[in-house]
């Protein structure tokens, strides 16, 4: 029987500019006040977000200036490449492996467009083999971290002994559009940050590390307008519904139970969860639905506090925190993304 894929290493990377939430709120107030938006009414969102700071690939004064889609995407490619290069180097160093050992590269990102793709461009910076197989993935949004691991695990299981490198990078700040006075855009400025992560996966019985034992997803019908992008003349316009917590309260638990049931499990078989911290209200709702006490999801809350919502990269930052605590048992990773989709992955750490 083929072994479950193993997680050999996990590395994270951040851009250089640290943005304190208080400073972001002042910037947003100054920028949006000029447009006659409802910023005064929405200012409490910044203080109530559960976020203390975030990181950005551009300095704070960049957000005061208009930027074309061409400019935004150029910044995306430049900075995304820098971040995934750092994350990849750190992940390979953790595992004690050279870039030449990588057989497959899965690159996940939804906050910019690159053709040639980021993975092809990275091959000009790192000495990957020229027969490297590449899978660039766009459009998964915040679910991309979990689903990126899932796709990599499936590829690894299909070719036992191969080494798969997963790279996730999101530069959410570059999507900021000062002339968009919509509620979703203003709230996005209170939540989103930039970050990247790298994970090495192999399907080898002798490999050490947490095992990825199962994965799946659930996409709700008629939910295309819950989360995603609108394509505007100057870039991506953020789209997310205020109904997300209500959807989770009504339907997320059943989706979790259905996935676990497909794996022959129930919630009682879990030692814990690793959840994408979409926002303070989302975390509160997940705690309620999953049966936790208020405030119990400490790792998700800590990542939100220290980095904001980095879209697909966030859940890998949460996983990094969980693994540093040397956990034992079976954990459910989960994230939500456009579709509207719940992504699931089972991770078994340190034996059961």
Burial (CB < 10 A; 0-12, 13-18, 19+), residue 233, is exposed
Evaluate whether 350 touches 208 at the Cβ level (below 8 Å).
Answer: no
Buried b (16+ CB within 10 A) or exposed e, 334-348: bbbbbbbbbbbbbbb
142 a catalytic residue: yes
Tell me which of 53, 57, 142, 275 is the catalytic residue: 142
CA atoms within 13 A on the CB side of 347: 28
Who's near 197: CB < 8 A, 6+ residues apart?
10, 11, 12, 13, 87, 145, 167, 168, 169, 313, 316, 317, 320
Picking from 318, 330, 130, 128, the residue whose alpha carbon sits closest to that of residue 210 is 330
Which helix (H) or strand (E) segment holds residue 51: the answer is none
Q: Are strands 194-202 and 6-13 parallel, antiparallel or unpaired?
A: antiparallel
Catalytic residues: 142
């Amino acid at each position: 029987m083929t072994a479950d894929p193993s997680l050999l290493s996990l590395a994270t990377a951040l851009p250089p500019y640290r943005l304190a939430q208080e400073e972001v709120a002042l910037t947003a107030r100054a920028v949006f006040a000029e447009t006659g938006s409802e910023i005064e009414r929405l200012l409490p969102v910044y203080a109530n977000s559960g976020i203390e700071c975030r990181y950005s690939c551009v300095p704070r004064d960049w957000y005061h200036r208009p930027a074309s889609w061409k400019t935004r995407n150029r910044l995306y490619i430049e900075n995304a490449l820098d971040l995934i290069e750092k994350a990849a180097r750190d992940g390979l160093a953790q595992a004690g492996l050279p870039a030449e050992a990588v057989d497959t590269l899965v690159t996940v990102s939804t906050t910019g467009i690159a053709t040639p793709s980021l993975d092809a461009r990275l091959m000009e910076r790192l000495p990957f083999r020229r027969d490297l197989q590449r899978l660039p993935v766009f459009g998964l949004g915040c679910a991309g971290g979990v689903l990126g691991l899932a796709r990599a695990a499936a590829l690894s299981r299909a070719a036992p002994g191969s080494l798969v490198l997963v790279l996730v990078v999101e530069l959410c700040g570059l999507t900021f559009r000062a002339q968009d006075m919509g509620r979703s855009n203003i709230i996005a400025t209170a939540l989103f940050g930039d970050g990247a992560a790298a994970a090495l996966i192999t399907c080898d019985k002798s490999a050490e590390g947490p095992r990825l034992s199962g994965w799946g997803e659930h996409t709700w019908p008629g939910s295309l307008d819950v989360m995603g992008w609108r394509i505007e003349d100057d870039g991506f316009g953020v789209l997310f519904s205020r109904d997300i917590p209500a959807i989770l309260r009504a339907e997320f638990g059943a989706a979790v139970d259905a996935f676990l049931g497909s794996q022959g499990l129930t919630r009682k078989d879990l030692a814990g969860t690793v959840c994408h911290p979409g926002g303070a209200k989302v975390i509160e709702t997940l705690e309620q639905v999953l049966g936790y006490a208020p405030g119990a999801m400490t790792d998700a809350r800590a990542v939100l506090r220290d980095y904001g919502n980095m879209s697909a990269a966030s859940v890998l930052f949460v996983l990094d925190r969980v693994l540093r605590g040397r956990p034992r048992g079976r954990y459910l990773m989960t994230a939500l993304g456009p579709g509207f989709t719940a992504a699931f992955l089972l991770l078994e750490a340190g034996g059961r």
